Structure 1
C-alpha cells in the first residue's frame, strides 16, 4: 500500500498559554482567563506544524494538531464533553486527507485508549502505545548498566496502564531483567498482572504505592497524571529514572535536591531524513520525535489502514512496530541519544557498554510479529 498522510493530535501540557503561543504567537498576549475559557468553546484544533520526508520534501507527510484544552482540563472537565471535542478534532483532521492519527498525551487515556473514538471509515486511530512500549523496553535495557546494582530491580509505576502492562509483558518475554516491581493503584489489577508474568528466575512483586519505588534501581514512570507525582523522596541513592509521561510526571526538584539521581526522558526517537517543522516538546534541531508520534508515521509510511493498538497494546503489536521501524530505518526510528528534562545528557550516555543500542537498527533481536498484530 502507498504511504498516506498522518496527524499527531496533542494539547497544551503545562503552561496552556505558552504552548498555544508556540502554534499561534498572538495567543501569547491573550489574558490567561480567556485562554482557559477557550477550553470550553468549540474551537477546532490549531495546526502547530508539519512533517515531510527527505525523499519527497515538497509534500506534507503529516501535521501536528493542537487541541486547545490544557492537561488539567482534560482530566477535570466533563468526560463526555472532552471526548466530544476530540471527536470534533478528528473530523477536522480527516478533512485534510489524513488516514492515520495518533492520540497524543492525555487524549488517549480520556478516550479509553481510543476506544471511544475509533471505528471511523475515513480515519484510522492509534494511541502510539505499541511503539512507545517497545521503545521503553529498549531504553530500559540501555539504562541497566547505569544502575547502582549489578542485579538491578526495575520498578514500573503505572504498570497496569496501557503502556505499562505491555512493557511488563515484554520484559517478562525478553528476560533481560530478573527483578521487577509492578506498581499501580488497584491492588487486584496489579496482583493479577504480577501473577501472570511471574516465573522461576523472574522475581516480580506487586505494589500499590509509589513509595515502594525507593526499592528500585531503575524507576520507569508510565502514569497519566496532569502534574508531577514522583519526587526526590521516592528514590534510592543513585537511582535512574526513565520518565515516559506527557505531561511530565517527575518533579523538577529532583534535579536540585537529588544530584545523585539521573532522570532520562523516555520515548524519544532519533529521526534522520525527516523534517519536523513543529514544536513537539523537544529541543529545536534535535532531529527527534516521541515514539507515540513516530507510530503514526510508521503506519502511514506502510500504508496501514484502520485502527491500531487501541487500549492496552499486545506484545505482538509492539514487536510489529519494531519490525516497521527496522523496515523504515533509513528515516531513523531508533532511540535518540538520551535527554533529561528536554536537554541532551552529554557524552557517555549514548551507549554505556557499547551494546545498549538494541532496537530498530538491530531488528533481529526482536521476535517476528505474530499473525493478527495489525488489528
Structure 2
C-alpha cells in the first residue's frame, strides 16, 4: 500500500490531521491499535480552545459542537471560602472556551471518515516505523494475522505517550523533560446538573478539587489524592462529601449528588520530548508532550500541533515548500512550552505538595489574593486559559 502520509493513532489528533489533509487532497491513511468502541470509551477532557473549535469549523464538522457545546465566558478559582471569577471574555476581547467532551469530538471525526474518504484501519498490531531518517519511510503492522506494509513520504505519530512513534527517534537525537507529580486526580462522572455554570478550580487545606461538566445534565468532578490511594476505598458518598468540603460553601450548596457512571484515578505529569520532528517523522499530541489537566491544555495542544503539521504537510505537497516541514518542530514546541508553563504554574498554585511548608502555603494565599485584586494578573490567566495564538 502506498500513500503520502501514514498517521499512527486514531484519537482526535490523528483523525483531525487526517481530515485536514484529505480536505486539501493529500492522500493519507490512519492506523489504530484499538477498536472504534474502545477509542470512544475513553473518558477525557472537554474544554476546547478557539484553535480546536476553529479546526472543526474549517472542516464543516462543527454541527453538533455548535448545537450541544457550552460556551463559557469565564471560570473560577476558589480558596475554600470565596470564588475568584476570571472573566475571560471581558479580559480577552470576547474570546470564549467551549465545553464539549473529547469523546464527542472524536465521534464527530470518526463518523465523517467514510464520507470524507479518510481511510482508518482499526485493530492493528505490532506497528513498526522504518527508515524515518530518509525520504522513503514505511510502516509495517499486523492485521488479522497477516503483515501489511504502508510506504509513504511522511509519518505522523499521533499515537500517545505509550505509542511506537516517539520510540522511533534515536536516543542520541531526542531529549525528554519530565516532572511527575506526587498525586493523582480521582474523577467521578455522574448524570447530575453541575453545581455552577462555569468551572471551579479549588485550593483547600484538604487538597485540590475541580467542578466541571459535560452538559447541563452531566457533571465531572475531581479531587486530588495520593498515588497510593485505591479506587475501592472511595465510594461515591465519600467523594461527594469531600467535594462539598473542598469546593467551599457556595458551590457545596448547589451540588446535586448521584450515582457515578465512571470513576478513575489518573496520575499527573508534565512531559516534553524534543525535537518533534525527526527526518520524515512528525510527532503530534501526547506522543510528544503531556500536561497536567489543571490548565485544560492536553487536547488543545494536540490540536495546535495538528494545525502546524497540516500546514507543513499541505505546503510540502501542494506548494513544494520544504521549509514548512523543517520548521514544524520549532513552531509547535514554542506553543507547547508556553502551555506547559501555564499548566505547571496553575498546578503549583492550586495543589498542596507534600514537601510544601507554611512558607509555600503563604505564597499560594498571597498569589490568590493578588489575582483577586489585579486585572493584570487576571488578564494573564485569561489569555493563557482561552488559548495563545497559533
Shorter chain as denominator, the TM-score bin is under 0.3
**TM-score, L = length of structure 2:** 0.25
